[in-house]
């Protein structure tokens, strides 16, 4: 027993001596830490950054402040942000009061009668008469809309009239005078611009050669604002709001709510009253850019006070349209004597190009026939030859004339009577 104790004591003493001599590391010692002098090369190599010492000179530049997450922070100190960038906010889902999403989240209306009236207003339609599908006809409008457009052309006031039943719209010449356009020239006078319920846009007036006429503008106007009249595209516009970053520009002020949505051409910002519009309609949109919007998310009609079309201006800036006034007012126009001219639509221009190519081909054919005519023998011997080629030239001329007359008649251009 004593021998075991003596052996254990010897081992313990030897172990302690070995640790004291440095042959065996002491398990109770902390690991070695390299001490680096602050301000030295070794400290800077280890990543030390020291702010400059305060100066007694009041004219010295202050200590620069670098914002975390900025390019300066990355360049100056090599800052790295691990994981999602906290400076980029995710889209915020917008849930409208009264919508199915709001009800799913537990929203309840304590007044069933108020809810019934709200639903009845959503389902109500205008009792005003529908306008004709095409010109000529008698057009009627029951709402007056005053607008203010802010664009690269300056600040311009406009006045238009809207049909609350079918969303057709007319802007008379006096409502367009703010643009500074020369509405009356030696060629004729512009009376009004008409947008039919189907989206076709016409500039109507009196032309020196054509007389009273409505010139259909190019179809590129239609697709750009198709969501104004197409319920499916309008719904897609509303559905895009939750997933669209809500980076809004300046609003019109007052108690309005702003949202940002995506269209086929870019981004659109809308500001509308929080209270429902009292105008009854089943059209997805009434007005030119602003007016009344049917909001299926909350099943309520909205008065749109401002629209910002991002990047839509000719200089790449935004076009902003403000609603100055929307009130009941009547305007009627009879278009019985107006000729519809469609010669400048995209389809007609394609036809005109094809017609020009066809006429050039006929002209080349005529040159060949004339050469054959000139080669006919002179005198009585060549009589039949000359007659044959002259008949060919006459038939060719008739074909060219008929093609040109067909184009003019189909597209409303003034054409001479056929022989």
* Segment of 283-287, 404-408, 415-419 carrying the highest mean pLDDT: 283-287
Indicate the pLDDT class of residue 3, thresholds 50, 70 and 90: very low
Q: Does residue 140 contact residue 197 with C-beta atoms inside 8 Å?
A: no
Extents of the domains making up the chain: 138-334, 345-410
Q: Does residue 276 contact residue 302 with C-beta atoms inside 8 Å?
A: yes
Tell me how far apart the 2 most distant CA atoms of the chain are, in Å: 160
Please report the pLDDT score of residue 306 as a whole number: 94
Of 259, 281, 287, give the one whose Cα is nearest residue 271.
259
Q: pTM, whole model, 2 decimals?
A: 0.63
DSSP SS3 for 50: coil
User: What would the mean pLDDT of 5-9 be, rounded to a whole number?
Assistant: 38
What does CATH list as the number for 138-334? 2.50.20
Question: Residue 291 pLDDT > 60, yes or no?
Answer: yes
User: What would the mean pLDDT of 282-309 be, rounded to a whole number?
Assistant: 91
For 361-392, the pLDDT digits (tens) are 888 888 998 999 898 888 888 888 989 989 99
Spatial separation of the C-alpha atoms in residues 82 and 90, rounded to whole Å: 17
Sign (positive or negative) of CA dihedral 351, 357, 360, 366: negative
Q: How far is CA 323 from CA 117, 182, 297, 320, 382, in A?
A: 27, 25, 22, 10, 79
Indicate the pLDDT class of residue 62, thresholds 50, 70 and 90: low
For 329-366, the pLDDT digits (tens) are 999 999 888 888 876 666 666 777 777 888 888 888 88
Q: How far is CA 28 from CA 25, 31, 138, 210, in A?
A: 9, 9, 103, 107
Please report the pLDDT score of residue 41 as a whole number: 76
Q: Is 290 exposed, middle or buried (0-12, 13-18, 19+ CB in 10 A)?
A: buried
Q: How far is CA 89 from CA 95, 216, 247, 382, in A?
A: 18, 46, 10, 90
Question: Which neighbouring-strand residues pair with 169?
Answer: 162, 195
Please report the pLDDT score of residue 23 as a whole number: 37
User: What would the mean pLDDT of 6-18 be, rounded to a whole number?
Assistant: 37
Q: Does residue 154 contact residue 148 with C-beta atoms inside 8 Å?
A: no
Spatial separation of the C-alpha atoms in residues 24 and 7, rounded to whole Å: 20
Please report the pLDDT score of residue 338 as a whole number: 85
- Residue where the block lists tokens 């044959």: 388
Q: Does residue 310 contact residue 266 with C-beta atoms inside 8 Å?
A: yes
Of 211, 214, 222, 259, give the one whose Cα is nearest residue 237.
259
Question: Residue 160 pLDDT > 70, yes or no?
Answer: yes
Q: Which two tokens stand for residue 95?
A: 């849930």
Length of the chain: 419
What mean pLDDT, rounded, does the chain reach?
77
Indicate the pLDDT class of residue 4, thresholds 50, 70 and 90: very low
DSSP H helices, 206-290, are 221-224, 231-239
Spatial separation of the C-alpha atoms in residues 164 and 287, rounded to whole Å: 9
């Amino acid at each position: 027993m004593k021998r075991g104790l003596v052996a254990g004591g010897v081992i313990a003493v030897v172990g302690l001596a070995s640790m004291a001599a440095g042959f065996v590391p002491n398990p109770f010692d902390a690991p070695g830490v390299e001490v680096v002098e602050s301000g030295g090369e070794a400290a800077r190599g280890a990543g030390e950054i020291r702010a400059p010492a305060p100066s007694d000179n009041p004219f010295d530049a202050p200590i620069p402040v670098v914002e975390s997450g900025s390019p300066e922070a990355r360049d100056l100190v090599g800052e790295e942000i691990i994981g999602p960038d906290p400076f980029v906010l995710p889209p915020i889902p917008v849930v409208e009061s009264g919508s199915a999403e709001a009800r799913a989240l537990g929203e309840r209306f304590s007044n069933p009668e108020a809810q019934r009236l709200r639903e009845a207003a959503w389902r109500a339609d205008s009792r005003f008469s529908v306008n004709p599908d095409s010109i000529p006809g008698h057009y009627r409008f029951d709402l007056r809309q005053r607008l203010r457009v802010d664009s690269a052309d300056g600040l311009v006031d406009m006045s238009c009239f809207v049909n609350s039943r079918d969303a057709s719209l007319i802007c008379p010449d006096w409502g367009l005078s703010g643009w500074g356009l020369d509405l009356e020239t030696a060629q004729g006078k512009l009376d009004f611009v008409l947008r039919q319920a189907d989206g076709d846009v016409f500039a109507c007036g009196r032309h020196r050669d054509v007389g009273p006429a409505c010139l259909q503008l190019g179809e590129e106007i239609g697709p750009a604002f198709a969501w104004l009249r197409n319920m499916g595209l309008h719904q897609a516009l509303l559905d895009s709001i939750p997933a669209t970053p809500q980076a809004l520009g300046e609003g019109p002020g007052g108690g309005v709510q702003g949202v940002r949505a995506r269209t086929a051409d870019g981004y659109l910002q809308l500001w509308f009253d929080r209270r429902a519009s009292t105008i009854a309609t089943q059209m997805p949109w009434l007005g030119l850019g602003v007016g009344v919007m049917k909001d299926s998310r909350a099943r309520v009609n909205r008065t749109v006070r401002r629209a910002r079309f991002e990047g839509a201006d000719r200089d790449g800036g935004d076009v902003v349209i403000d609603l100055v006034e929307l009130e009941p007012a009547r305007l009627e126009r009879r278009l019985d004597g107006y000729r519809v001219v469609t010669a400048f639509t995209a389809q007609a221009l394609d036809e005109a190009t094809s017609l020009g190519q066809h006429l050039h081909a006929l002209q080349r054919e005529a040159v060949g026939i004339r050469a054959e005519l000139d080669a006919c023998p002179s005198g009585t011997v060549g009589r039949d030859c000359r007659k044959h080629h002259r008949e060919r030239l006459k038939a060719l001329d008739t074909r060219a004339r008929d093609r040109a007359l067909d184009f003019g008649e189909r597209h409303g251009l003034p054409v001479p009577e056929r022989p």
